[in-house]
A and B are shown apart, each in its own frame.
Chain A
Amino acid sequence: MRRFVDWTVIGDGILRLGLGGVFLVAGVEKLLAPAVFAEQVANYQFWPESAGWIAASLPFLEVVTACVLMVAPRAWRSSAALLLAGMLGVFTAALGRAWLLGINVDCGCFGQGSPNIGPLTFLRNLTLIGAALALLWLGRPRGHRVKSLVPATE
């Protein structure tokens, strides 16, 4: 008897809900206390004038992207995964800079009471980047991929 279980669909769903859920929670936490988030951004001591701009826009972007990743059609989900991967890359770079300079203690990732920057922060971000890239791969367009790249054989 054949089992009609498509593990890529299940994996895609789990990753989407997981990654989207993380960003949804992170965005909502920041939206609840914008001034606190602005302060946390300023604590990174990198381009302090941008703190207000980032605090005003980033939390909403996180929520929008998380929602699109969880419920939108496939094409938009892939783009959301790409955007989240890019955002995570920027976040991780900022965290790495702060970690190397030893300046910031509060990562501000999840609003008030976020854990301090540490090895676990990087591990978590790398895991999330992995999830976003896996979603991009699972959501790649089907149909005209391998066939056209392999020379036709008789």
Chain B
Amino acid sequence: MSSEQERESAAQGGKVSPLASAPSPEPSTLEPLVKEARALALRALVLLAVGLGGGFLFNSLRPDGVSPQHFEPPVACSAEEGPTLKTPLVLAPERAAPLCGNPGALVIDTRSETAFAEGHIPEAVHLPCTAPRSAAERALELVGNRSTVIVYGESTSDALPVAAGLQARAGHAPLTAVVIEGGFAAWRDAKQACASGPCEECNGEVSRAPLR
């Protein structure tokens, strides 16, 4: 029995039992709306799937796409643990040189991978500014109980944020960060010791550490 017929009979005598009349108008009036809403949501889901799927496809095809599983934000030079209490010490190459062979000090190179491979201070650990969180943490592990890190880059300014970041990351452990003034160029010009080639023990381990 349709709703029109019910209304008709109700108007004529009101003899339709409440049991029969109550549920029947609902489907006829709401059914198209429910159908529309369902189709609307279904199309939205299709759009969502196409958009996300296309996004992954496009991302995997482009050379500079991000790796979904292995993305790690570059954090080596962000001091996210709060304001650094100490600022890194900037020392001229001659004054930093005696610290180099010191077992209490770890040398950190913040330059690019190619520059690092061409030559670096002996036993330097490669930790560029773009290194992810895991690399920064591995570097801190290497720092261990050492009291000092000697950080250098192409210049003074590009080593400073990494040094500050390491100090902030070290948290409560008292870590002195020394930045070599003038960077690697000044170090080389000052005729200090210089090693060449990748650092076997640290380069692969720190700068390309796998995620977890």
Which residues of A come within 8 Å of B, CB atoms? 31, 34-35, 37-39, 42-43, 48, 51-53, 55-65, 68, 75-76, 78-80, 82-83, 86, 141, 144-145, 148-149, 151-152, 154
Contact = CB atoms under 8 A, between A and B. Distances in A.
B200 interface: no
A59 B4 contact: no
B141 interface: no
Bin the interface of chain B by size: 35 or more
A79 B47 CA distance: 8
B48 interface: yes
B47 A52 contact: no
Question: Could you tell me the dominant secondary structure of chain A's interface residues?
Answer: helix
B18 interface: no
Contacts of B52: 57-58, 60-61
A103 B73 CA distance: 15
Nearest to A32: B64
A34 B66 contact: yes
Contact of A64 (B33, B40, B54, B62): B54
19 contacts: A34-B59, A48-B73, A51-B71, A52-B70, A55-B59, A56-B59, A56-B66, A57-B51, A57-B55, A57-B56, A57-B59, A58-B55, A60-B51, A60-B52, A61-B51, A61-B55, A76-B47, A78-B40, A79-B41
Given A39-B74, A148-B28, A53 B41 contact: no
Contacts of A56: 55-56, 59-60, 65-68
B71 A52 contact: yes
Given A34-B59, A148-B28, A43 B73 contact: yes
Given A38-B71, A144-B32, A151-B7, A61 B43 contact: no
A14 B64 CA distance: 35
A79 B56 contact: no
Contacts of A35: 64, 66
Nearest to B36: A141
A59 B64 CA distance: 14
B44 interface: yes
Contacts of B39: 75
Contacts, number: 105
Contacts of B55: 56-61
Nearest to B78: A43
B40 A53 contact: no
Nearest to A136: B40
A55 B69 CA distance: 11
The 4 lowest CB-CB distance pairs between A and B, nearest first, are A52-B71, A60-B55, A61-B51, A57-B55
A55 to B, nearest CB: 5
Contacts of B194: none
Contact of B44 (A82, A141, A149): A82
A54 B172 CA distance: 34
Contacts of B32: 141, 144, 148
B142 interface: no
B148 to A, nearest CB: 30
A94 B50 CA distance: 23
A130 B4 CA distance: 38
